[in-house]
Amino acid sequence: MNLHAIRAIYLFEMARTWRTLLQSIVSPVISTSLYFVVFGAAIGSRITEIDGISYGAFIVPGLIMLSLLTQSIANASFGIYFPKFTGTIYELLSAPISFVEIVVSYVGAAATKSIILGLIILATAALFVPLRIAHPVWMLVFLVLTSVTFSLFGFIIGIWADGFEKLQIVPLLVITPLTFLGGSFYSINMLPPFWQTVTLFNPVVYLVSDFRWSFYDQADVPIGVSVAMTLVFLTACIAIVAWMFRTGYKLKS
Q: What is the DSSP string of 80-122?
A: HHHHHHHTTHHHHHHSS--HHHHHHHHHHHHHHHHHHHHHHHH
CA–CA gap between residue 17 and residue 13 (Å, rounded): 7
Q: How far is CA 44 from CA 29, 123, 124, 185, 196, in A?
A: 20, 20, 18, 10, 22
CA–CA gap between residue 87 and residue 112 (Å, rounded): 25
Residue 81: which residues within 8 A CB-CB, separation 6 or more? 158, 159, 161, 164, 167
- In the chain, % of residues over pLDDT 70: 94
Q: From the centroid of its chain, how far is CA 73?
A: 6
CA–CA gap between residue 170 and residue 70 (Å, rounded): 10
Q: From the centroid of its chain, how far is CA 101?
A: 21
CA–CA gap between residue 143 and residue 136 (Å, rounded): 10
Q: What is the pTM of this model?
A: 0.89
Q: Give the chain's radius of gyration (CA, Å).
A: 19
Tell me: the pLDDT tens digits for 28-67? 778 777 777 777 666 666 677 787 888 888 888 988 998 8
- In the chain, % of residues over pLDDT 90: 32
Instruction: Return the number of other C-beta atoms located less than 10 Å from residue 248's C-beta.
Output: 10
Mark 53-79 as b/e (b = at least 16 C-beta within 10 Å): bebbbbbbbbbbbbbbbbbbbbbbbbb
Tell me: the pLDDT tens digits for 150-195? 999 999 999 998 887 788 888 888 888 888 888 888 888 888 888 8
Residue 73: which residues within 8 A CB-CB, separation 6 or more? 150, 151, 153, 154, 157, 170, 171, 175
CA–CA gap between residue 123 and residue 108 (Å, rounded): 23
Q: Give me the pLDDT at residue 12, please.
A: 87
Instruction: Return the number of other C-beta atoms located less than 10 Å from residue 150's C-beta.
Output: 31
Tell me: the pLDDT tens digits for 184-235? 888 888 888 888 899 989 989 999 999 999 999 988 899 999 999 999 999 9
Three-state DSSP at 187 gives coil
CA–CA gap between residue 141 and residue 53 (Å, rounded): 23
